[in-house]
Structures are given as C-alpha cells and as structure tokens.
Amino acid sequence: MCTCTGGTVTLAQGSWQDELAGLSVAVARNQTVANILQRVVDLAETVLYDCVGASVTVIEQGQPATAAWTQRVALDLDRVQYRADDGPCLQAARTSEVVRFEAGDLRWPAYEAAARERGISHSLSVPLVVAEVTIGALNLYSEVPHGLDAGADELAASLVAEQGAIAIATAHAFATERSMALSLQRSLLIDELPTVAGYELAVRYRPASARAQVGGDWYDALVLPGGALAVTVGDVAGHGIEAAALMGQLRTGLRAYALEGQDAATCMALLSRLFEARPDSGPQIATACLGLVDPVTGMGRLASAGHLPSAVRNPDGTVHFIGIQGAPLLGVNATGVFEDDFFALEPGSALVLYTDGLIEDRTRTLNDGLATLASTLADATGSAEQICDQLVTGLLGSRSQDDDVALLVLTRHDDTPDP
C-alpha cells in the first residue's frame, strides 16, 4: 500500500514489493498470461494511491487491445484511444516512453473530451518493454487534481510495468517451449497402433499441466517379423525439447533391437549401452520396459530397466505385477543384469504398461499409487479403450499433473480360441 502526503506519494515498504516479486512466482505456478496481466493492473491500482482505474494495452499483429483492467472507466478510455488511433497509451506503446496527460491537454482531442466526460483529470501510461521490444503499455487513470504527478508515482508504475513485462515474456517463452517440445514428442510417437487378431491395443498420453513441462515419456507397439507383438513404455527424466529428443533416440533404438529378434532382456541391455554412449555426457535418467507377446499362445516376457512394474489383470479380476526384479536404470551400469519376467495373457486378461505420472503425485506414496492402480484395474471393464479411460479417470481425475503420463493397455479377447 501507499500513503499520500501533500500531493506526493510515499510508497510503503514490504507488502507491495512482495506482490511485485510474486509476479515471477505466478509464472512458475503455471499462471496464464491473462491472469498475470490481471495481477499487474490490480497491483498498480493498489500501489498508486490516486489511481481509480488501471489497464494494460497490448499490441497484437499491429492492433491494440486491452488485455486486463480494474475499472470500466479504464477500459472505456482505452477504447476511445483505439478508435481515434491516437492517445497516451498508444503513444507510450509506440515510442517506448512514459506519457502523461492532464485535463486540458489537447494533443489528443477525442481522448481529452472522453476523459473530461468521465471525470478523469490525469493519466499515466508506462511502456511494457522486454529486451528493447515494447509489447504494450500499463495505463493508470486518476480523478484527483495533480493525481499521478509525483515522481514516486512514475517510479512505482515503472517498477510494476517492468516486472509485469518480464513475467509476460517469460510466460510466453514457457508456452512456446512447451508447444515445441509437445510437437516434437508427438511427432516421435506412433500415429497408428498395429492390429493383432484376438487382441486390442489402446494408448493414452497426457502432458504435464505446467508450461514447459512436456518431458520424455513414450509408448510404442509393433508386430515383429516372427509375428510377436512388442509393446513398450519409457520415461526420460527432465522436461523440454532435450528430453523429448532423447526419448526419440531411445524409442528408435529399442525398436531396432526388437526388430533384430533380440529377447526382452537383451533389448534392455543394448538400450542401456546406447544410453550410456550418447554424445551428450550430461547427467540424465531414463527408464523403460519392453513386453514381447506371442499372440497365438498369449505367453509373454517382459524386461525392465529401472521402470515401475507392469500390471496383468487376469480373467477373474485379480491383478499381479511383473517386471519387479529391480534391474538398473538405463545407462547406470553397463554390466548390469537384465532378466525376463514371464507371464501369460489368457483370454479376457489385460496387460498394462505406464509411466510414473499415472500413479505418483505429492499426495500419495508409490505403494499407495500401485494399490490404487491394482484396485482400479481389477474393477475396470470393457475394451482396451474403455480400460484406458477408467484408469486415467480413476488415477488422475481432474487433478493437476506434475509429470507426463504414458499409458498402454493390451487386452486379449474373451473369445480367443485356445491354441
């Protein structure tokens, strides 16, 4: 807050500066640009004692628009300037300079008349500038004679505008990076699942809720030359374009090893060596699991590299986990031992592979997440697509995700004839 003494503004220490610093926190907490702009104008109106309305003008594709405002008078006066294509807020945005107005200033006749009609005697427009690029202006309006005239007013408004512009630019950068990473990641995932007689495949991918948090989760499925079905999920720790790119390398490598006819454990060992030999020697963590299923017999084997256990639901509704031998993470131990875990998919059963975002969050432990997965899967019914939906609803609901989620479900039809 602030106090007014003899026509000058004295800024109180502590509270408003804390709010100012909070704009950067808002970006980290996944606030939208619209929300950040609203916080900017709310803060400006609070900080400046004589301010009766605040707004933010943004220039998009050469056209001005009011992105946030506190009082209707601010929006109305902004629009008067847009229609006239002239006024303090437009001059501030176009010249990157602070622009003051007071009653009787005839540089902008239409704006002066509209301000007088609404009882506004003074205004202050401060450019929003990031890296020498002006993206708009913060506009403040006052009914008080000599309102917003003090040097402290301009200082406070400039500080709010500066921090607001940085927050807006950061939010845009996060959104751009996230969009690029998501596009890269999805381009590396398969577009169409293979068709296998007597079986059904379904997948789900849900990116993390936070901006720029798209990571390296993946799923894959392919029919091998001998007729076996290979299914896999994996997770590269970290987020952004680098994680998505590394995910693509690992997915491609694992495909190549499976197509060569290697068993699941050997594929994991080779993938671990590939990960360790990558050109980027920086620290990174990745996990993966691979299941190979004979569609004729339903017999399968699964190997894991530090990945969470996969789940098998039997025809009677019981659930058990496979791939729990505790093999090392990818690239951690070149001589590490990877083992196959054998399982059977009987008619009416389902195999579920997933990444940790499905079961882990800040509110429950890993064991609780596995228990919830088991109970949800035990109660799930219908096709592979329906089971996917039930697992996503049961384990994620509408909560904000801290991590990406990749989920793959393989079901064997009830009417599959026994071999």
| Angle at which helices 241-259 and 151-188 cross, to 10° | 10
- Euclidean distance between CA atoms 231 and 406, whole angstroms: 12
Alpha carbon 385 to its chain centroid, in Å, reads 25
Structural domains of the chain ordered from first start: 2-179 (3.30.450.40), 189-412 (3.60.40.10)
pLDDT at 388: 95
In a 3-state reduction of DSSP, which class is residue 216? strand
pLDDT at 400: 59
pLDDT at 238: 66
- Token representation of residue 163: 């921090």
Output the pTM of the full model. Answer: 0.59
- Token representation of residue 140: 């403040």
Beta sheet of 51-60, edge-to-edge order: 63-69, 51-60, 133-142, 122-130, 99-102
Question: What is the rounded end-to-end Cα distance, in angstroms, of the chain?
Answer: 79
- Euclidean distance between CA atoms 109 and 259, whole angstroms: 75
Q: Name the phi and psi angles at 382, rounded to 5.
A: 95, -160
CB 242 within 8 A of CB 212: no
- Euclidean distance between CA atoms 141 and 145, whole angstroms: 11
pLDDT (tens, 9 = 90+) of the chain, 419 residues, equals 333 333 334 344 445 555 555 555 544 444 577 777 888 888 888 888 889 999 999 888 788 999 899 999 999 999 999 999 999 999 999 999 999 999 999 999 999 999 999 999 999 999 988 767 788 899 999 998 888 877 778 888 888 888 777 767 766 666 666 566 556 556 566 778 999 999 999 999 887 754 444 567 889 999 999 999 999 999 887 666 667 777 778 888 898 899 989 999 999 998 888 888 776 655 578 899 999 999 999 999 999 998 999 999 999 999 999 987 667 888 776 566 788 999 999 999 999 999 998 998 777 788 899 999 999 999 999 999 999 999 999 998 866 566 788 999 999 998 644 54
- Euclidean distance between CA atoms 419 and 213, whole angstroms: 46
In a 3-state reduction of DSSP, which class is residue 51? strand
DSSP code per residue over 325-354 = S-PPPTTT-TT-----EEEE--TT-EEEEE
CB 180 within 8 A of CB 149: no
3-class SS string, 127-194: EEEECCEEEEEEEEEECCCCCCCCHHHHHHHHHHHHHHHHHHHHHHHHHHHHHHHHHHHHHHCCCCCC
- Count of Cβ atoms closer than 10 Å to residue 409 Cβ: 28
9 secondary structure, DSSP code: E
HSE at residue 191, side-chain half, CA atoms within 13 A, is 2
